[in-house]
Amino acid sequence: MSRFKIYQENSSDVTVVSNLFIDEYMKDANDAQLKIYLYLLRVMSAGRSTSVSDIADQFNHTEKDVIRALRYWEKKNLLTLEYDNAKSLSGIQLLDIARRPENDAVLLAPLVQLPSKQETPQENPAFSKPAYSLDDLKEFKNNEETSQILFVAEQYIGKPLSPSEIKTILFFTDKLHFSEDLIDYLIQYCVGKGKKDFRYIEKVAISWAEEGITTPGQAAKAAVKYDKTVYDTMKALGKSGTPTKAEADYALKWVKTYGFTKDIILEACRRTVMATDKHRFEYADSILNSWHQKQVHHKSDIKALDEAYTQSRTLSSKPQSTGAGQFNQFMHNDYDFDALEKEILSN
């Protein structure tokens, strides 16, 4: 395995750690993730080479632990893992935390092999980004049709594009075969979600290509699938996979039409899961519709409804049961799930 030394123009016996890293990122990272990120900074500042196995030995971790930590920081957009055509890790790019434009990134370039084949990222070879050369980049930039795409992208991103970002747009046209209109819509869509990082934009582009999306209209119809609200709701209701249009419509209605916050929606989902394993979106919708009609705005409003219901039950002439009965009373409140299920099945 070949090893490369990391050089720095001005070397000093100091490792600089961003205050933003300490304030924003350190609290959520585990011990291994923190050690490995700080060690990368140390290796870079010392101009030394390293490898996955070296890092594992340094901290008595497994190589899988090291790779998991590297991928964690990649998801946090603090570094970029680069792979060669053989899917082997070929470099690590430490990104500027404060700004994170790729052209300001510091390249940490220990060439290391991943410990085993199953540790390489599972990518569709048809949608993997080639290693474009500087000549490829120059030819692309000088193309008259390209200049309009790059101009539009810079307007959305709000800054000149770095060579790496231009290569990503080249990838969209060359490998993914995206039209100028689709690239325009792609960047506009991501920026509209507050995502200007090109790694995020590239992931969305690949997901669209995998689904066979070729026009802005198709992308607009599929965009709902990437709304985090929909996936959070799916998970809360015990569902996995891609949401159907009906399921996505329910989840978005609860946010956009009813105006409910995430905690209220998740509370309705929790009660639904405890009450039934069938027609969960319909059940959750009945709960949230009831809360909407009763002008619930905070979880404290739900508590007040629960207490009012319990008090009305106590004052009624119906006998009170214990055990499972009390549990069902709490879960049902004023939602008659048996009647609702009969209504759903009859439709």
pLDDT in tens, 216-266: 888 877 765 556 778 889 889 988 766 777 788 888 889 888 889 989 999
Residue 6 lies in a domain: no
Clarify whether residues 248 and 325 are in a common domain.
yes
Structure pTM?
Answer: 0.39
* 269 DSSP assignment: H
The DSSP annotation for 106-159 comes to EEE------SSGGGS----GGGPPP---HHHHHHHHH-HHHHHHHHHHHHHHTS
Q: What is the CATH number of the domain that holds 33?
A: 1.10.10
What pLDDT digit, counting tens, does each position of 167-191 carry? 999 999 988 999 999 999 999 988 8
For residues 13, 18, 24 and 26, what is the CA-based torsion angle, rounded to 10 degrees?
-10
Clarify whether residues 148 and 200 are in a common domain.
yes
Clarify whether residues 110 and 154 are in a common domain.
no
Clarify whether residues 80 and 188 are in a common domain.
no
- Coil/strand/helix, residue 330: helix
Residue 318 lies in a domain: yes
Clarify whether residues 239 and 266 are in a common domain.
yes
Question: Which of 117, 105, 47, 104 lies closest to 80, judged by CA?
Answer: 105
Q: Comparing 54-63, 102-111, 314-323, which segment has the lowest mean pLDDT?
A: 102-111
Clarify whether residues 261 and 186 are in a common domain.
no
Clarify whether residues 199 and 260 are in a common domain.
no
| Average pLDDT score over residue span 265-292 | 92
* Of 226, 242, 273, the domain-final residue: 226
Clarify whether residues 32 and 55 are in a common domain.
yes
CA distances, 59 to each of 48, 74, 157 (Å): 17, 20, 40
CA distances, 233 to each of 198, 237, 257, 280 (Å): 27, 6, 16, 11
Clarify whether residues 107 and 140 are in a common domain.
no
Residue 312 identity (one-letter amino acid): S
* Of 200, 226, 252, the domain-final residue: 226
Q: Residue 110: its pLDDT value, please?
A: 39
What pLDDT digit, counting tens, does each position of 188-209 carry? 988 887 888 898 899 889 888 8
Angle 177-202-253 (CA atoms, 0-180°, nearest 5)? 105
10 Å CB burial of residue 158 (0-12, 13-18, 19+) is exposed
How far apart are alpha carbons 73 and 92 in whole angstroms?
11
Angle 209-203-242 (CA atoms, 0-180°, nearest 5)? 70
Clarify whether residues 115 and 146 are in a common domain.
no
Residue whose tokens read 């959520």: 28
How far apart are alpha carbons 173 and 245 in whole angstroms?
29
* Of 66, 97, 121, the domain-final residue: 121
pLDDT at 86 over 70: no
How far apart are alpha carbons 47 and 148 in whole angstroms?
41
Token pair recorded at residue 15? 């490792």
Q: Into how many domains does the chain fold?
A: 3
Is residue 67 a contact partner of residue 73, using CB atoms and an 8 Å limit? no
Domain limits for position 202: 134-226
pLDDT at 134 over 50: yes
Residue 80 identity (one-letter amino acid): T
* 311 DSSP assignment: H
Residue 128 lies in a domain: no
CA distances, 245 to each of 77, 139, 221 (Å): 31, 42, 10
Clarify whether residues 194 and 210 are in a common domain.
yes
pLDDT at 3 over 60: no
Q: Comparing 105-119, 151-165, 223-237, 328-342, which segment has the lowest mean pLDDT?
A: 105-119
